Amino acid sequence: MKDEERVKVLTPLPLTEEQKDIIYAKLSRIIPRPFVIEEEIDPSLIGGVIILWGELLIDCSIKTQLERLRERILKEEGSPYGNRK
């Protein structure tokens, strides 16, 4: 299996077979060669996964989504109780 690509998947819960199949099926659309999934548990992700393939990083974690939401709210003008007139 020397030619197979290695794709690292960070996940907060151990992946089920169904989840691995879904990931494999979706990644096959962008990875032209056969590949193997290497699973690594990271509870800080909260939910979702982070996929690392070579230099490519696909961040589908809830942790990152929450962080982006936090940044967006903080960038918005006004008080936490709405805009004051």
Site for other proteins in 52-71 (CB under 8 A): 56, 58-60, 62-63, 66-67, 69-70
Nearest-angstrom CA–CA distance, 43 and 64 = 13
38 token code pair: 């290497």
42 token code pair: 């990271």
Query: Which one of residues 19, 37, 42, 52 is an interface residue with other proteins (CB under 8 A)?
Result: 19
| Of 29, 5, 13, 7, residue with least CA distance to 61 | 13
User: In the complex, which residues of this chain contact other proteins (CB under 8 A)?
Assistant: 11-13, 16, 18-19, 22-23, 26-27, 29-30, 43, 46-49, 51, 56, 58-60, 62-63, 66-67, 69-70, 73-74, 79-80
